[in-house]
Structures are given as C-alpha cells and as structure tokens.
Amino acid sequence: MTLSESEPQPNAARSIHLSVMPDEIVQYACEIHPRVVVDGTFGGGGHSRLILQRFDDYRDNTPDVSWNSLSIVALDRDPAVSQRAESIPLDPRIDLYLGSYESTPIALKSAGFPAADAIILDLGLSSDQLADRDRGFSFNSDGELDLRFDPESGIPAHQWLMRHDEKAIADAIYQFGEERYSRRIAREIIARARSKRPVRTVSEMVDICRRCVPRSKNHDIHPATRTFQALRIAVNQELDILTRTMQQVADWLAPGGRILVLSFHSLEDRIVKNAFRQEDRLEVLTKKPLRPTDQEIQHNPRSRSAKLRIAQRRDAES
C-alpha cells in the first residue's frame, strides 16, 4: 500500500505541505510497533497522520492485535503550527508542544512517558513557511527579511546582518550555504549598510544575490538559494541544535527504539551520519541514506535533495 498525501486530509486542511518520503518513514517507524512516537518537526502533521493511519489499519485488520496503543508527542518551533492546531483540532492521540526538537525529553516527561520508541526529525523547510509572505522564506516576497522559525525568539535576519562584519557574513554564507560567491555578497551587504541603505527586505537580498552570483548553466538553482539557506541556519542556530540533539538522542530512545532523520543538505547529513557512527548504543540501519523515488520527486520536487538515515538503539544487553 502506498501512502499518499495528494488528497486533502481533515486535520491538514490549512496546511499545504507535502511530507517527504512518507512511505519510508511510516515503514521504518511502524514495523517495530511503537507505542510512543516523537514527531520533532510536526509542521503540517503529515508524517504523524500517516503513522496513525497505519496504526488504525493494523488494529482494524489484525486479529491478534499486539500493537494496541499509540501516542504521538509532537514538537515544532513555529507558533503558526500551534495556531492551526487550535483552529482545526488534532487527533486526540497527538500532544503538541511549542518548541525545538531539542526539547524532546521535556515534552516526553510532560506527556508522562519515560522514553520514545521512535523519533522522527524532518529538517526541511515547510511549504507552509514558504507560503507565508511575512516570514521572508520565499524569494517572491517583498516582506521583511526575517527567516526565523519562531518570530518571537532571537533576531530577524536583517538585524543579524547589521550586527556582523563583512568577514563573519561571508564565512557564514560560505560555511552554511556552501556559496562560492559569499565574499561578493558580503561585500555588497556591507556597502549598502555604509551608505545608510542596510538590507531589510527579501527583495533587497535577492537583488544582491542576482548581481553577485552568476547564472548557473542548468538554471536549476535560484541565485539566492544558498545565501538564504545560510542566513536561515545562522538565525535559527539549526546546526548547533541538531548537533546537540544527535549527541543526546540515544538517551531519549527506549531499547529497540529508532531515530529517523530527513536531511536536505550536506551539512545536516554529515552531522547525522557522524553522530550515528560515534554512538555505540545505536545500530545504523541505513549504511547509505535512503533517497526519494523518481515518482515522488516528480510529484513533489522539493523532495529531490532529501536523505533519510535511520538508526536503532541496541538492547541494554547488546
């Protein structure tokens, strides 16, 4: 059976996000018959909804039901996710918490669970965030250059640029965005600031990138893509949070529990791969990351760069 989100679902009526690699996520999360699942990046709730659907199908169609209960502890940094949940009630088996997946142990304790049987982290940017013209994630927006997942925490990207010098900006764009023309971009950002025209909006940042980054031959990548990725990572401290989480995640898993991580660029994937290898309590189930099928990429082009890595906590005696 293929799990598809092409049809609208009741609890996602206000979300336009398509979950990436849903079949693979559900297969690996559900084959161990988890009783507590942490969805650390809830977003539109697609992965959680499909896991509950698989549980209901199993319960209804299996005479000897060994998997008889399921709870999902969900987290997300974006307040808009909580607002959607308030307007469209969630499945009662889902407990939603506002916060980073780094807060998983706090959420588990609050929900009354000592550990999780499966933890799912989808590190990609949600289509709902891209569609919000006030957040600055979309290149087509003329709004403020914000880029924060939680608009009530930290500083927006345009303020981050004002607080850093040319070298720091160039280093961040190069390190987090792997942008070859980072120094050109940083130089232009600082030049604008010195002329009393600091970058403040999305369109101003996009214009700088268009002038500093030569058009690629295949035209597949927007000239602002890598810079916006870098600024988003810097503003939200994404790699720091991911690194700390991967260092602790084995503590949050019950024996036999699984951690599933969807990453979308090499920096994230490298952190996950190395953390899996370095943690003796984890057995790596994916020697090479799983990739989306051609069919999924055609249906959801934003899945094309996804990599899924999975590890399982060893039994205490192993």
Q: Same domain, yes or no, for 120 and 227? A: no
What's the confidence (pLDDT) of residue 178? Answer: 93
pLDDT band at 127 (very low <50, low <70, confident <90, very high): low
Q: Is residue 121 part of a domain?
A: yes
Q: Is residue 1 part of a domain?
A: no
Q: Same domain, yes or no, for 257 and 287? A: yes
Q: Same domain, yes or no, for 16 and 137? A: no
Q: Is the pLDDT of residue 4 over 50?
A: no
Q: Is residue 4 part of a domain?
A: no
Residue numbers belonging to the annotated binding site for S-adenosyl-L-methionine: 45-47, 76, 101, 122, 129
**42 in Cβ contact with 71 (< 8 Å):** no
What's the confidence (pLDDT) of residue 16? Answer: 55
Q: Same domain, yes or no, for 77 and 18? A: yes
Give tens-digit pLDDT for 212-265: 999 876 557 889 999 999 999 999 999 999 999 999 999 999 999 999 999 999
pLDDT band at 167 (very low <50, low <70, confident <90, very high): very high
The percentage of residues in the chain with a pLDDT greater than 70, rounded to a whole number, is: 89
User: Which tops the pLDDT comparison, 89 or 300?
Assistant: 300
pTM for the model: 0.88
Q: Is the pLDDT of residue 17 over 90?
A: no
Which CATH number do you get for residue 14?
A: 3.40.50.150
Q: Same domain, yes or no, for 193 and 303? A: no
User: Which tops the pLDDT comparison, 304 or 86?
Assistant: 304
Of the listed ranges 61-65, 216-220, 268-272, 301-305, the one predicted with least confidence: 216-220
What's the confidence (pLDDT) of residue 316? Answer: 64
Q: Same domain, yes or no, for 246 and 190? A: no
pLDDT band at 126 (very low <50, low <70, confident <90, very high): low
Instruction: Tell me which residue range forms the domain holding 200.
Output: 132-237
What is the rounded distance in angstroms from the CA atom of residue 162 to the CA atom of residue 152? 19
Residue numbers belonging to the annotated binding site: 45-47, 76, 101, 122, 129
Q: Is the pLDDT of residue 3 over 90?
A: no
What's the confidence (pLDDT) of residue 40? Answer: 96
User: Which tops the pLDDT comparison, 186 or 215?
Assistant: 186
Q: Same domain, yes or no, for 258 and 221? A: no
Domain count, the chain: 2
**24 in Cβ contact with 303 (< 8 Å):** no
What's the confidence (pLDDT) of residue 86? Answer: 72
Q: Is residue 3 part of a domain?
A: no
Q: Same domain, yes or no, for 54 and 14? A: yes
Q: Is the pLDDT of residue 10 over 70?
A: no
Q: Same domain, yes or no, for 171 and 110? A: no
Which CATH number do you get for residue 164?
A: 1.10.150.170
